[in-house]
Chains A and B, each alone.
Chain A
Amino acid sequence: MQPAVVAASRNFVCIRLLTYENKSEYDFMEGLLGVSPGTLPNTVFCILAPDGKTQLVRAGRGPRHGFSGARSMADGLRRIALRYPARTGQARPLPLVRPVDLALNVAASDNRPLIVTVASDPRQLAVLQQQVQQLAWNPRFIGQFIYSSTQRQAALKPLAGAEPDAAILIVEPGAFGITGKVVAQLTLPTSPATMATAFTAALDAFVPSRKDHNRHIEMGYQLGIEWTTVVPESDRQSVRAKARFKARFQSRR
């Protein structure tokens, strides 16, 4: 990612949806693209006004229909941001991916550590999220972690080493994002300083894995790993490619 685009993105609310994991979000993206129901492609790109409706850069499959490259995109983002100055004094909410198993997959795909806040009591969970939120937007940590949150201990099943009394878990995702290893956990009471120390240590220790895209997919097939989406995949090209790849793989066995 170009640093200029990342820097320009700080004046935006950046939303990255998971195309086939939520039906109402799926419907929203179909509306943006203006495609027939049940035909949403697997990638979408759009820039919207703060009302969430007005398209400032028309929705499409990717940024290339709006920008010629990273520099053009950074310039475009800066120009748009000038038209929509943010109201000051507003704390930015913790950017969450839910549920935990999906967040683990996103963390693996991004090659980043995952932080999970856990509390059975919703009020306690909200307090925890507020504490983590303050660090999430700290320049040291911004964009460096994937965040999730749960009230259910059962949601932590894929996370090896999670203790039942942990309130904040820092997790290194497995290559396929279906399991993870807890590398640090904090119990209550904790403090912002303790959390910051743990986050810094986790970030310093984290080594992004080197993934070869094709080898990763082949290995996934060999291990019998397959991700089932909530909404059936509707990108015809992608569905055809998956069928071709599966047939080729099975013919070689």
Chain B
Amino acid sequence: MLRTTLATFALMGGLVQHLAAEPNPAPRIAWHGNLAEGLAEARQSGRPILLVSGAPACLGIPGVW
């Protein structure tokens, strides 16, 4: 379970920054933050969808995934 969660956070781009400083800017995924707009783009463009979800708060504290 922990490995799954860590893998998801790493995918979301949240884990790496907490462990070490990154070169600025490291390449990053450009995420839609809105389902309806993301689905609309997928339908129009014919692109498949990489979908993840996470909470921008850990143990109720914001500012971390």
How many angstroms between the C-alpha atoms of A203 and B22 in the bound complex? 13
The count of residues in chain B whose C-beta lies closer than 8 Å to any C-beta of chain A is 58
A208-B62 contact, Cβ under 8 Å, with A13-B48, A144-B28: no
**Closest CB-CB distance, B33 to chain A, in whole Å?**
3
A50-B10 contact, Cβ under 8 Å, with A28-B35, A42-B55, A245-B59: no
Q: What residues of A have a CB within 8 angstroms of the CB of B61 in the complex?
A: 176, 216-217, 220-221, 225-227
Q: What residues of B have a CB within 8 angstroms of the CB of A188 in the complex?
A: none
How many angstroms between the C-alpha atoms of A64 and B52 in the bound complex? 13
Contact of B25 among A63, A98, A203 (CB under 8 A): A203
Q: What residues of A have a CB within 8 angstroms of the CB of B25 in the complex?
A: 144, 203
Contact of B47 among A12, A29, A207 (CB under 8 A): A12
Let me know if B27 and A237 touch, CB within 8 A. no
Let me know if B58 and A213 touch, CB within 8 A. yes
Let me know if A62 and B8 touch, CB within 8 A. yes
Contact of A43 among B4, B29, B41 (CB under 8 A): B4
A50-B48 contact, Cβ under 8 Å, with A17-B35, A17-B53, A241-B59: yes
How many angstroms between the C-alpha atoms of A6 and B7 in the bound complex? 15
Q: What residues of A have a CB within 8 angstroms of the CB of B42 in the complex?
A: 13, 48, 50-52
Smallest CB gap from A17: residue in B: B53
Could you tell me the dominant secondary structure of chain B's interface residues? mixed
Contact of B31 among A3, A14, A98, A233 (CB under 8 A): A14
How many angstroms between the C-alpha atoms of A212 and B11 in the bound complex? 18
**Closest CB-CB distance, A206 to chain B, in whole Å?**
6
Let me know if A84 and B51 touch, CB within 8 A. no
Contact of A80 among B3, B8, B48 (CB under 8 A): B48
CB-CB contacts below 8 Å: A203-246 with B: 203, 206-208, 210-213, 216-217, 220-221, 225-227, 229, 233, 237-238, 241-242, 245-246
Let me know if B16 and A1 touch, CB within 8 A. yes
**Closest CB-CB distance, B21 to chain A, in whole Å?**
6
Contact of B62 among A46, A81, A227 (CB under 8 A): A227
* Among A106-114, A117-125, A164-172, A190-198, the stretch in contact with B: A106-114
Q: What residues of A have a CB within 8 angstroms of the CB of B22 in the complex?
A: 208
Counting from the closest, the 4 A-B pairs by CB-CB distance are A97-B33, A143-B28, A220-B61, A15-B38
Which residues from chain A sit less than 8 Å from chain B, CB to CB? 1, 3, 5-7, 9-20, 22, 24-25, 28-29, 32, 42-52, 56, 60-65, 77, 80-81, 83-87, 90, 92-93, 95-98, 102-103, 105-106, 108-112, 136-137, 142-144, 146, 173-178, 203, 206-208, 210-213, 216-217, 220-221, 225-227, 229, 233, 237-238, 241-242, 245-246
Which residues from chain B sit less than 8 Å from chain A, CB to CB? 1, 3-5, 7-14, 16-18, 21-22, 24-35, 37-65
